[in-house]
C-alpha cells in the first residue's frame, strides 16, 4: 500500500463508528462528527456482533465509544478495536472524570463537553495520526466478520 505524504492527509476522507445505544446522545454525536469535512460516512454499533462487523467491513478511522454503555466490556472492546483499526482514533466518553478500561483510548472525554471542544479534540488527534482513506484499506483489514470475535 502506498502511504500518503503528510501533506495529503487533509484530503483523506474517513468513516466513523459510534458505539452506543440508540438515542439522543448517539444522534447528536453523529450529527457533530458528520459536520467534520474529512468524515464521509458514519456507522453505528450497539452490541459485540455489530462492533465486529462494522470494524471488519469498514475499518473506521474514528471510533467513539460510550464508555458507560460498554462499561463491563470496555477494556476488551477498546483493545480489540485498536488492534484491528491500526492508525484509527479511539475516543471514549463517560459520565465521570476517570473510567476504568479507557486507558488505551487516544482521548477520554466527559459527556456534556461542549460540541466545539469535542471537535477540537477530534481534529487535534486527526492532525497527529496517519489515517488511511476509507476506499483503499482492504488489504490492511486484520479480520473478517465471519471469523473475528471480541474476547469474552
Looking at the chain, how many residues does it have?
A: 152
How would you classify residue 4: left for phi > 0, otherwise alpha for psi between -120 and 50, otherwise beta?
A: beta
**Interval 78-85 mean pLDDT:** 81
Handedness of CA 70, 146, 39, 133 (dihedral sign): positive
> What's the CATH architecture for 13-134?
3-Layer(aba) Sandwich (3.40)
Mean pLDDT, the chain, whole residue set: 77
Residue 59 DSSP SS3: coil
pLDDT in tens, 92-143: 888 887 777 777 788 888 888 888 888 888 888 777 665 555 544 444 555 6
Question: Domain-by-domain residue ranges, the chain?
Answer: 13-134
What lies within 8 Å, CB to CB, of 88 at 6+ separation is: 14, 59, 60, 61, 62, 63, 81, 82, 129, 131
Q: Does residue 11 or residue 49 have the better pLDDT? A: 49
What lies within 8 Å, CB to CB, of 10 at 6+ separation is: 38
Whether residue 9 is predicted with pLDDT greater than 70 in this model: the reply is no
Whether residue 69 is predicted with pLDDT greater than 50 in this model: the reply is yes
Amino acid at each position: 500500500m502506498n502511504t500518503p505524504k503528510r501533506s495529503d492527509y487533509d484530503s483523506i476522507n474517513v468513516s466513523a463508528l459510534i458505539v452506543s445505544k440508540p438515542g439522543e446522545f448517539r444522534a447528536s454525536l453523529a450529527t457533530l462528527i458528520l459536520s467534520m469535512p474529512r468524515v464521509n460516512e458514519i456507522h453505528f454499533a450497539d452490541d459485540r456482533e455489530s462492533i465486529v462487523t462494522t470494524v471488519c467491513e469498514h475499518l473506521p478511522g474514528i471510533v467513539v465509544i460510550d464508555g458507560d454503555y460498554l462499561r463491563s466490556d470496555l477494556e476488551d472492546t477498546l483493545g480489540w478495536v485498536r488492534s484491528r483499526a491500526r492508525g484509527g482514533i479511539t475516543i471514549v466518553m463517560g459520565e465521570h472524570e476517570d473510567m476504568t478500561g479507557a486507558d488505551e483510548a487516544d482521548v477520554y472525554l466527559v459527556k456534556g463537553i461542549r460540541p466545539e471542544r469535542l471537535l477540537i479534540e477530534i481534529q487535534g488527534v486527526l492532525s497527529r495520526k496517519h489515517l488511511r482513506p476509507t476506499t483503499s484499506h482492504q488489504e490492511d483489514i486484520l479480520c473478517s466478520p465471519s471469523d473475528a470475535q471480541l474476547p469474552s
